[in-house]
Structure 1
């Protein structure tokens, strides 16, 4: 708790909104790391600080405890962290590259970025379960065509601050899955078939 308070003072006094956004994308550029890590010291093992713990500390330091994310159905720092964890588990080679920051006001910043992922069996089962569970030859064929491909999704995230607390109270993200899928599949009807039922991005957008 003392560390969270110390970091909040640091952001209040030394960093502006766009710096918090830049660090957010830097820390989550590869998704979420392992929650714990152990290193042997003789016959004992000690818990060391991990990237995931640093990410969680950052979120607690810069965001309200009831921060709203996605379309309002994710609330709280732990829920946001959990969503990043799921994205990491569903993809190989998750990489998020922030490209541009646009400061709308003292309390609103929009970040544009690209999220690159490799489609794996976990992706198909977690993100596109309607394809994997279908008895349709067309759906299963689409799943096979997606498997192993690396896609880069353009995305943008709106960060909203509470002026009194200087904490982020809302994140709204838009992920363009259609454009890279159209480039890969070459057919709008097939793109629509892939996206109709996609789980993560349809319900809890993130970037």
Structure 2
């Protein structure tokens, strides 16, 4: 179901809100807690993941595109994959510029920590082979420069494209020390060097 977007929202407002809502990546929905007095479930604070999905469904076109990913739910799943398989994801807007009548480009910085879960789910070949490269990567924090291009559909007041890219090559090369090792790590990885998810 296509939600009705408020007509007074500009592409600048929508783009800025994207960075506010996804500053810490995908936020896992909170469960309900039991009250000590009556043992009935009581709601915890706002379910952030639902807020994120509501935002995407309201301000993105139904077929919004990010690379090979299309649709609000698919965009949220991409964030979920990144966030659940890394620790302490932090997505920061550095600069936002207009590059066309209905296009913006954001300069970004994304940081995340590689954990055992990252190795198992993103670089499983390193774990299976007990590669020494896995040891080099474990518990390291990546700081990645990147960009997001927003293309606005003025006819409906929604974003039709949110094209995200990150530079994983630079921090990975710094950690691993050689292009050959970087190539080996990403040869069978579930992420590409520009931050796209590889379909199984």
Bucket of the pairwise TM-score, normalised by the shorter protein:
0.7 to 0.9
Measure, in 2, the Cα distance between the counterparts of 1:82 and 1:35: 13
TM-score in terms of structure 2 length: 0.87
Aligned to 2:160: 169
Measure, in 1, the Cα distance between the counterparts of 2:95 and 2:195: 22
Aligned counterpart in structure 1 of residue 55 of structure 2, from 50, 53, 58: 58
Aligned to 1:31: 25
The structure with more helix, counted as a fraction of residues: 1
Aligned counterpart in structure 2 of residue 180 of structure 1, from 168, 171, 176: 171
| Structure 1 vs Structure 2 CA RMSD | 2.2
Report how many residues are paired.
Answer: 194
Matched position secondary structure for 1:171:
strand
In structure 1, stretches of 5+ residues that fail to align are none
- 1:99, 1:111 within 8 Å by CA — same for their partners in 2? yes
1:111 aligns with 2:106: yes
Cα deviation 1:44-98 (Å, max 9, x = unaligned):
324453111111111111101121222x2x2211111111111111001111111
1:131 aligns with 2:126: yes
- 1:101, 1:112 within 8 Å by CA — same for their partners in 2? yes
Cα deviation 1:3-49 (Å, max 9, x = unaligned):
x53xx21xx31x32122111111111111122243144544324453
Aligned to 2:89: 94
Measure, in 2, the Cα distance between the counterparts of 1:194 and 1:69: 24
Measure, in 2, the Cα distance between the counterparts of 1:63 and 1:112: 20
Cα deviation 1:132-164 (Å, max 9, x = unaligned):
233xx6xx1101110011111111111112121
Aligned to 1:45: 41
Measure, in 2, the Cα distance between the counterparts of 1:84 and 1:129: 19
Measure, in 2, the Cα distance between the counterparts of 1:172 and 1:197: 23
Aligned to 2:136: 145
Aligned counterpart in structure 1 of residue 72 of structure 2, from 72, 77, 91: 77
Measure, in 1, the Cα distance between the counterparts of 2:106 and 2:43: 34
In structure 2, stretches of 5+ residues that fail to align are none
1:22 aligns with 2:16: yes
- 2:165, 2:195 within 8 Å by CA — same for their partners in 1? no
